[in-house]
Structure 1
Amino acid sequence: MTTRPAAISRALSTMAVVTALVVAAAACTTGEPPVASASKTGLPPATAAPTEALAPYYSQRLDWQACGGLECADLRVPLDHAAPDPAKDLTIKVVRVKARDQARRIGSLLVNPGGPGASGVSYVRGGAQTIGGPEVRRYYDLIGFDPRGVAGSDPIDCLDDKALDRFLSTDPTPDDAPEEEALRTQAKAMADGCAADAPELVKHLSTADAARDMDILRAAVGDPQLNYLGKSYGTFLGSTYADLFPQRVGRVVLDGVVPPDLTSAQLGEGQARGFEIATKAYLEDCVTESGCPLGDTPEAARTGLDELFRRIDQQPLPTGDPSAPQLTEGWARLGVAVALYDQGAWGILTDALKQAKTGNGQGLMQLADAYADRRPGGGYQGNLMESIYAVNCLDRPDSPDLSAYETYAKDFSAKAPTWGATLAWGALPCGVWPAKAAGGPHKVRAPGSDPIVVVGTTRDPATIYEWSARLRDQLDNAVLVSFDGDGHTAYGRSNTCVDSAIDAYYVQGRVPKDGLRC
């Protein structure tokens, strides 16, 4: 499953299924000027100066131009940071919303909404007034960017729209050898398509590559250290940056953690358990309402959901969409999964399941469209469903042997009966990926960094809570803020306890108490 809240939230919002995905932040400041921390007092910012070959990239300044109420600019980065070649440079798309109080501006706040593959440009363009509390927006320029290979930044395009429809609609829980081979065929189509579209770029789309780009962006906006908000996969990017450039870490928040040391199997197993926990919470809520379509008790409703998936697998439902006329099990599971990212969508999920029980797949297909960033009627808004593999498969390779996924499915399903097989087989493209993996899973420490704030949500479906604790324990200088709640990520969508603590950290430099529970 993807691990990004922003694109999902926007898509659900356009369907009028969520009334308020972002809770109004309550900043704990009272209008006093921000207090500078040691990281803002002119201390040497860099662990080491950039190499001579990288110096031209670090010395560039962005040419900001007005664009639709924001400011836009292009950043040049090398395709290969180890061997820069100006003829192969990439262009990173960047947007800015300037701080309202320029006289007391602290600096820039770079944001990444997750994915991998979600557009930071779209995130800031669509939600600049909901990123951080009012005081954060008062004192920080908000900076959104599309990482390399994503959205507007030299996007990788692996499959045409029809082929991507086939990829996503394929049975994600194969029952026999022919279905396994069908899944492998689609995985190979994705992998081969990425290599054919961008044979050089596909080798340089790792998270470490993107983190090095982010350091050039930090320099280009004129900040000695990086102030950053990373959500979901954005935490992987942020912690990777911190480990590469620990002395350049400013005020960094990592919300809904994906630890860089997870293997592909560990990621799948953890997400399977996370979606199982979120499904349990949804079903418990569903049966308290009148007319839950799956059953009268949580146990009966879980059985009802599993039976519905099996029925759709055997006989897909009509969707009313000529571009995707049948709701397959693949589409159905995406539709259910997307609503688990935010409890505000549970009501629309219940309505869609009621439709499905009567033989109508329209509601679940609309939810699946939201998950995949797909337009009803066909076509995709961006390349999220392709770039997620292009990045993940460089970071976390997997086995080419189908028997490995059979074992994963058995093991995951023992802990997560509803979602285990889906998450087990979901990594198959990384087993046939054409580009050699980058460094592979590894622990991060960020020795000597300023304090990093890690945030975890107890019933997060996509990034389980224990991963936030895991990263806090790995980092040399980090604190953990815990939110006891549902949905994916916490800051800006949970409650004033989390929001106030993070706002105070950004604006006043007050590090939350380690172990704060909200």
Structure 2
Amino acid sequence: MQTRRSLRRNRPLRTTTALLTAVLLASACSSGSSSSASSATTATTATPKPETGSLKPLPGSTPQALSPHYAQKLSWRSCGAPGFQCATMKAPLDYAKPGGSDIDLAVVRKKATGPGERLGSLLVNPGGPGGSAVGYLRSYAGIGYPAAVRARYDMVALDPRGVAHSEPVRCLTARRMDAYTQTDFTPDDQRETTEVVDAYKRFAEGCGARSPRLLRHLSTVEAARDMDILRAVLGDERLTYVGASYGTFLGATYAGLFPDRVGRLVLDGAMDPSLPARRMNEEQTAGFETAFRSFARDCVRRPDCPLGGADATPTRAAANLKAFFARLDARPIPTGDPDGRELGESLATTGVIAAMYDEAAWPRLRQALDEAIERKDGSGLLALSDGYYERDANGEYSNLMFANAAVNCLDLPAAFSNPGQVEKALPAFEKASPVFGRVMAWASLNCAYWPVRPTGAPHRIEAKGAAPIVVVGTTRDPATPYRWARALASQLSSARLLTYEGDGHTAYGRGSDCVDAAINAYLLNGTPPAQRKRCSQP
């Protein structure tokens, strides 16, 4: 999922999970290498498998078979708006067989504008997994990051393997994806349960049929190794990086594999890599409940709140929303969609969840709920849902949801292997969130039918010897609960935890001068914030 105000305006509604596709597996100095292959990077040709313990760093020398990748020269060309340059970088499809097939990865940069001494490259990733970093840089980060940062850094983005412009994973046609998003993911009987299972199987089979070459090689570990090739190709001895949401897992994985090549890393909206899928999904469910309660507290104080009158409480608002979802489950309402889609429970739930990522979307959500509840017009909630799924006006979908599932199902063993396990877990999920618990539990079943086996497992990331790493957590973050930031900061040996006491997903560039000043000082001067620094919502 993904939402952004300010720093991520190009992705209006979503960053780390993809609800109903994969509930989350739904942003200093050290020694390193130069751009030469011999001093560049990576080590053993095999991709290390994370263990229940800690992610082990790769050796420091570059194996001969990888030298051509580290020594490659990118051919830059002008693209898009003035000042942007694009290139294609090659990486091994399979790091265990680096002399075999390559994968083509899309890179974009906007060179430092000055004044001031150039500090190197700043790689950015908006999350997902599946979010296009190239699209993010071109539409916002390359022009919207603080001017002082853009003046000193070449802003760079790499679409991870399988994402957007980097040999994208494909799974379903647009028409089949429409049907998938309208599946009733809160089954009430055996027939509806079978429909949920069939939907997940069709999704997985589609990925296996349309992207068989890629599915075994889309792990976060492999994507992190690709970033190290890019670091060397760009001529940087150390990686400077800002990652949001899932991008924090990608950045932390890089630090664990290459601790001596860590420069200035900002991990905003942090994930906890030590959690198994079920617990991660359950804790995220509680995160969305926390965010909804914050929305509800704000809503019931307003005269236009569609979830209760002047005497309503957040608990009553939650009960009213749940009752609204139940009515849609029984009888969807019209939306005026040219493709004939109606608003049922699944699309409505997705629309509400999308608005939880950014409190700036709350007025839009109130209006959409009012239209749906009072006038039986589902167009507003459908628009929120379409933004979340990245469905355009022509009815076409980006590959975000396909890549999201492909990465998540490879990185961790499935949360559940059959519907019976979901049924047993429902009480725990519904306790975590009376509103969203049921749908989030069933969303956790998707990886059970994935066509390839996972290569990852829960693990700690310590990155011993790394330069200071800034971990940012927001106290009422829906998609990456604050406790995850605390957990990751406790694992990383050199972490500095920066806490934002506020709403929404992630903190950098979302209106807090305190947060922005701390991160800008770190990026520009190498000065990390004081340990356990806290900033309040303005």
Query: Would you call these one fold, judging by a TM-score over 0.5?
Result: yes
Alignment partner, residue 51 of structure 1: 63
Paired position in structure 1 for 2:421? 404
CA separation in 2, counterparts of 1:514 and 1:118?
30
Q: Residues 84, 383 of structure 1: CA spacing in aligned structure 2 closer, same or farther, 3 A cutoff?
A: same
SS of residue in 2 equivalent to 1:236: helix
Cα contact 1:4–1:113 (8 A) shared by 2: no
Does 1:287 find its partner at 2:287?
no
Which residue, 104, 124, 145 being the options, matches 1:111? Answer: 124
SS for the counterpart of 1:80 is coil
Q: What SS is found at the alignment partner of 2:465?
A: coil
Kindly provide the amino acid, as one letter, of the partner of residue 157 in structure 2: G
Larger deviation, residues 58-67 vs 121-130: 121-130
What amino acid does structure 2 have at the position aligned with 1:339? Answer: A
Counterpart in 1 of 2:408? Answer: 392
Deviation for aligned residue 1:4: 6.3
Q: Residue type matched to 1:337 in 2?
A: I
| 1:131 Cα deviation after fit | 5.0
Aligned to 1:194: 207
Correspondence for 1:17: none
CA distance in structure 2 between the aligned counterparts of 1:8 and 1:507, rounded to whole angstroms:
20
One-letter identity of the residue aligned with 1:340: M
1:313 is the counterpart of 2:329: yes
1:483 aligned partner, one-letter code: Y
Q: How many residues are paired up?
A: 492
User: Partner residue of 1:18?
Assistant: none
Looking at structure 2, the residues matched to 151 and 94 of structure 1 have their Cα atoms a distance apart, in angstroms, of 11
8 Å Cα contact 1:161/1:378 also seen in 2: yes
| Residue 400 of structure 1, CA deviation | 2.2
1:436 CA displacement: 1.2
CA distance in 2, matches of 1:439, 1:214: 18
Q: Which moved more, 1:404-413 or 1:189-198?
A: 404-413
Q: How does 1:93-104 map to 2 (within 5 A)?
A: 93-101=106-114, 104=117
User: What is the distance in 2 between the residues matched to 1:288 and 1:471?
Assistant: 36
Equivalent position of 2:91 in the other structure: 77
Correspondence list, 1:398-477, <5 A: 398=414, 399-477=416-494
- Cα drift, residue 102 of structure 1: 7.3
**C-alpha separation in 1, matches of 2:166 and 2:441:** 30
> Which position in structure 2 is the counterpart of 1:214?
227
Structure 1 window deviating more from structure 2 (154-163 vs 103-112): it is 103-112
1:14-53 matches, within 5 Å, as 38-39=29-30, 48-53=60-65
Do the aligned partners of 1:396 and 1:430 also contact (CA within 8 Å) in 2? no
For the residues of structure 1 that align with 2:236 and 2:32, how far apart are their CA atoms? Answer: 12
Provide the C-alpha distance between the structure 1 equivalents of 2:482 and 2:444, rounded to a whole number of angstroms. 21
Residue 232 in structure 1 maps to residue 245 in structure 2? yes
Cα gap change, 1:300 to 1:265, in 2 (>3 Å): same
- Could you tell me which amino acid in structure 1 is paired with residue 64 of structure 2? E
The whole-number CA distance in structure 2 between the counterparts of 1:42 and 1:205 is: 25
Say whether residues 1:344 and 2:360 are aligned partners: yes
Counterpart selection for 2:513 from 493, 496, 507: 496
Mapped contact 1:271–1:462 kept (Cα < 8 A): yes
How far, CA to CA, are the matches of 2:162 and 2:90 in structure 1?
13
Contiguous gaps of at least 5 residues in structure 2: 14-27, 42-58
Shift of 1:133: 2.1
Q: Is 466-475 or 101-110 further displaced after alignment?
A: 101-110
Describe the SS at the equivalent of 1:147: coil
State how far apart, in whole Å, the 1-side matches of 2:456 and 2:387 are: 33
- TM-aligned CA distance change 1:160 to 1:243, over 3 Å: same
In the other structure, the counterpart of 1:23 is: none
Corresponding residue for residue 21 of structure 1: none
Q: Which amino acid aligns with 1:73?
A: A
- Structure 2 distance, partners of 1:330, 1:391, is 23
8 Å CA contact 2:32–2:40 kept in 1: the answer is: no
Answer yes or no: is the 8 Å Cα contact 1:408–1:421 preserved in 2. no
User: Are residues 291 and 507 of structure 1, via their aligned partners in 2, closer, same or farther at CA, if it must alter by over 3 Å?
Assistant: same
Residue of structure 1 aligned with 2:157, choices 141, 144, 159: 144
* 1:389 CA displacement: 0.3
In structure 2, the CA distance between the partners of 1:324 and 1:406, relative to structure 1 (3 Å rule), is farther
Instruction: Write the distance in 1 (CA, Å) between the matches of 2:352 and 2:134.
Output: 27
- Give the structure 2 partner of residue 515 of structure 1: 532
Aligned AA (2:381): L
Give the TM-score normalised by the residue count of structure 2: 0.88
Aligned equivalents of 2:90 and 2:286: distance in 1?
A: 40
Contact 1:4/1:232 (<8 A) preserved: no
Please give the secondary structure, in 2, of the residue aligned with 1:317: coil
Which aligned pairs between 1:365-384 and structure 2 lie closer than 5 A?
365-380=382-397, 382-384=398-400
Once the two structures are TM-superposed, the CA of residue 376 in structure 1 deviates from its matched residue by 3.4
Match of 1:178 in 2: 191
Give secondary structure in 2 for the equivalent of 1:53.
helix
Percent identity for Structure 1 against Structure 2: 46
